[in-house]
Amino acid sequence: MHLPELLPVVLVHGGLYEDTTPTSYWIDTGVTEALAASTTRFIAPKRPVQPSSWEEERDVLLAAIDKAGFDKVALVGASHGCSVAARFAVDHPDRVGRLMLAWPATAGDQVLDDLARIVIEDLRDVEVADNLLAGETIRGVTNAEIGGLAMPLVVFPSIPASHAYQRDTATKLVEAHPDSFLAGGTPDPLDKQFAEHLDEFIRVVQVIAVVEHDD
């Protein structure tokens, strides 16, 4: 039986000035084990703990992709990792064959922004906080930049929605991009209920990784 050719998958974990890692998002939750069992090539690089900008995060991600020897990838962002993935896709569109924004963290909410600002300003400064909190539907990119992406976009919402992962965020991302698809969604990996939905998440990741003839 002929197996489909798959793009290598790059998993970008969530968190913004929080104690989150690839281990907590992808390893302990069974994601990397499931991808390895399916023979999918992947990396799950560690993001900077206290970045000064989304551009710094973009550059760290590029270095990790280059080190892995990957050319074009299926890029999967989680929570605030969606901002990193989207910024990377906007600035390096030739390196992204598919983009998946999973459990996109809501931007522009006063309560969420104020809480994040307190932490970032305490650890860095006002300028860094202004930079990291800027954006529209998600931080780090504008809706126009999302809409201008040439690659297909899959939005994978948090189910159930929450204050941090508002349903309207996923809807607006889909509306911003002309070649986008709203997938079913699951709880995010840090939710204890995620284990019951792991197979669904893996299935969507593998679907977006399939190489089409025009990739």
Q: Tell me the per-residue pLDDT of 133-153, one tens digit each, with 9 for 90 and over.
A: 999 999 999 999 999 999 999
* Domain 9-209, classified CATH 3.40.30.10, yes or no: no
* Integer Cα distance of 180 and 46 in angstroms: 27
- Residues 147-164: what's their mean pLDDT? 97
Q: In this predicted structure, what is the pLDDT of residue 215? A: 53
User: Which phi and psi angles does 74 have, rounded to 5°?
Assistant: -95, 115
Burial of 108 (0-12, 13-18, 19+ CB in 10 A): middle
Tens digits of per-residue pLDDT, 64-74?
999 999 999 99
Q: What is the mean pLDDT of residues 143-165?
A: 97
Task: Provide the pLDDT confidence category of residue 4 given band limits of 50, 70 and 90.
Answer: low
Q: Give the Å distances, CA to CA, from 138 to 10, 90, 184, 209.
A: 19, 13, 19, 23
Q: Which two structure tokens, joined as six digits, stand for 183?
A: 């997938």
Average of per-residue pLDDT values in the chain: 95
**What is the number of alpha carbons within 13 Å of residue 167 lying toward its C-beta?**
5
* Amino acid in position 129: A
Residue 105 pLDDT exceeds 80 = yes
pTM of the model as a whole: 0.96
